[in-house]
Amino acid sequence: MPVTLGELNTLTTPLSIMRFWELICTCLCFSLASSMATLPSPVTFRPFCMVTWCFFFTLTFLIIAINFIQFHSLLPLSWKNLTATVASLGALMSLAATFAFPWVLVSAYEFKGPFITVGSFFATLAYAVELHLIRTQGAGQQRGYMSSVPGFLKTLQVFGSCTALVLLGDQAAWTWQRSAVAASYAVCLLASLGTVLVMIGDCAARCPVPFDRLLAGLTLLGVFTYMTATVVCFSRVLQEKDMNLVMCCEAAIVCITLLVYTVDLVFSVKLLCDRN
């Protein structure tokens, strides 16, 4: 199928307008942040914010370009799943950056800081609106798995594991306990990320085992893993003499991720029961 340029009116649809708005906001954020002086601890938050804005600026630009030249029909992947994943993960990561960057600026106030925070917040809104538009497309347009509730739960799992690893990496010297927790986060991250990539690549039908049962097994593993991590996190928080805000944030993220895995497990079991 030949690649053809789309009409200019494809750039004025609500989806395209939201994507251009995402480009403007993310470009504003990483441009201003890169020109700021080196900021104090927490050291991992500045790279996290910069990577978030740069990564999603690049992805959004590529989506706009590929959609305009109608190249997505030649790509060996599910375009609807890809765009829904970028929108949902972009909203979550931009929201995290919106809260993380002011945290970096606690002891280094600069004039550009408020503009960056506001820009990141508007980027979060734009990605959220894009996801809503993808989910509410016309009845004649088929929605992808990643725009459904189970697909969004998978994105939340990826986001939760990434954020927990970032928070864990900003704490004090590593111990065997922290190493085990980090390994647990990494395993769950790889499992959820692998599921997302399989859906984007439209490879679920090629799985040598029933994919719905595999998903249920991985989700059950995530539930047990995050149950253990929740106990470990709260025990560490209770052992601290002084309030450690990073540890408290990690514990909160772990609890939310555990809830996400639990809800996802309910959906997986319901799907298996309906098919049987």
What digits encode the pLDDT tens for the residues 5-58? 556 777 888 999 999 999 999 999 988 888 776 555 455 677 888 899 999 999
29 and 80 housed in the same domain: yes
44 and 173 housed in the same domain: no
18 and 121 housed in the same domain: yes
pLDDT tens digit string along 133-157?
A: 998 875 556 677 888 889 999 999 9
Q: Is 92 within 8 Å of 31 (Cβ atoms)?
A: no
138 and 153 housed in the same domain: no
* Residue 174 dihedral angles phi and psi, to the nearest 5°: -75, 145
Q: Is 172 within 8 Å of 202 (Cβ atoms)?
A: no
109 and 197 housed in the same domain: no
Letter string b/e over residues 130-169, b meaning 16 or more CB atoms within 10 A of that residue's CB: bbeebbeeeeeeeebbbbeebbbbbbbbbbbbbbbbbbbe
- Domain hosting 9: range is 1-144
Structure-block tokens of residue 25? 């906001």
